[in-house]
Amino acid sequence: MLGFGSKKSKEPQSQELNTEFLLSAIVDGVVLVGQDNTIHLFSPAASSISGWAVKEAVGLDYRSVLIITDEHGQAYPPDLHPFAQALKTHSTVKDSRGLLSTKSGKLVPISLIVSPVVEDVDKMTTGVLGVLRDITSERVEENRRSEFVSTASHEMRTPIAAIEGYLSLALNPKVAMVDNRGRNLLEKAHTATKHLSALFVDLLTSAKAEDGRLASYPKVIELGEALEQIADASRFPAQKKGLELKFVLSGGNDVRGGKVVRPLFYVYVDPNRIREVLQNLVDNALKYTNEGSVTIALTGDASVVQVQIRDTGMGIPEEDIPHLFQKFYRVDNSMTRSIGGTGLGLFIGKKIVELYNGRIWVESQVGKGSTFFINLPRLTTEQALQIQKNEASTLSPLGNS
Which of 134, 168, 184 terminates a domain? The answer is 134
> Is there a domain that residue 38 lies in?
yes
Distance CA 36, CA 237 (A): 59
| Count of CA atoms in the C-beta half-sphere (13 A) of 40 | 14
- Digit-by-digit pLDDT tens for the chain (401 residues) are 333 334 444 444 455 556 666 777 788 999 999 999 999 999 999 999 999 999 999 999 999 999 999 877 888 888 889 999 899 888 898 888 889 999 999 999 999 999 998 876 666 778 999 999 999 998 888 778 777 777 777 788 788 889 988 898 888 888 888 888 988 999 999 888 887 887 877 777 877 777 667 778 889 999 999 999 999 999 999 999 999 999 998 865 544 444 556 789 999 999 999 999 999 999 999 999 999 999 999 999 988 999 999 999 989 999 999 889 988 777 765 555 455 566 788 999 999 998 888 999 999 999 899 999 999 999 999 988 988 888 777 655 554 44
What pLDDT score was predicted for residue 332? 64
Asked whether the beta carbons of 98 and 74 are under 8 A apart, the reply is no
> Is there a domain that residue 309 lies in?
yes
Same domain, 197 and 332: no
Contacts of 134 (CB under 8 A, 6+ apart): 29, 49, 108, 109, 110
Could you tell me the CATH number of the domain that includes residue 240? 3.30.565.10
End-to-end, the C-alpha distance of the chain in Å comes to 71
Which of 110, 134, 158 terminates a domain? The answer is 134
Same domain, 127 and 144: no
What pLDDT score was predicted for residue 3? 37
Which of 134, 158, 189 terminates a domain? The answer is 134
**pTM score of the predicted model:** 0.60
Domain that holds residue 59: 15-134
Neighbours of 117 (CB within 10 A): 17
Same domain, 374 and 228: yes
> Is there a domain that residue 393 lies in?
no
Same domain, 108 and 172: no
Size (the chain), residues: 401
> Is there a domain that residue 257 lies in?
no
Same domain, 319 and 205: no
Same domain, 107 and 175: no
> Is there a domain that residue 20 lies in?
yes
Distance (Å) of CA 201 to CA 254, 264, 345, 349, 380 = 43, 34, 11, 14, 36
Same domain, 127 and 157: no
What pLDDT score was predicted for residue 134? 94
Q: Rounded mean pLDDT of the chain? A: 84
Same domain, 245 and 375: yes
> Is there a domain that residue 3 lies in?
no
Q: Which residues of 132-168 are buried (b: 16+ CB within 10 A; e: fewer)?
A: bbbbeeebeeeeeebeebbeebeebbeebeebbeebe
- Count: domains in the chain: 3
**pLDDT single digits (tens) 292-310:** 999 999 999 988 999 999 9
Same domain, 289 and 355: yes
What pLDDT score was predicted for residue 19? 66
% the chain with pLDDT above 90: 45
% the chain with pLDDT above 70: 86
Report the helix count and the strand count for the chain, using DSSP H and E.
12, 16
What pLDDT score was predicted for residue 245? 95
Distance CA 346, CA 392 (A): 34
Same domain, 320 and 349: yes
Same domain, 275 and 349: yes
Among the listed residues 242, 196, 248, 241, the one whose alpha carbon sits nearest the alpha carbon of residue 227? 248
> Is there a domain that residue 401 lies in?
no
Could you tell me the CATH number of the domain that includes residue 60? 3.30.450.20
Same domain, 160 and 67: no
> Is there a domain that residue 30 lies in?
yes
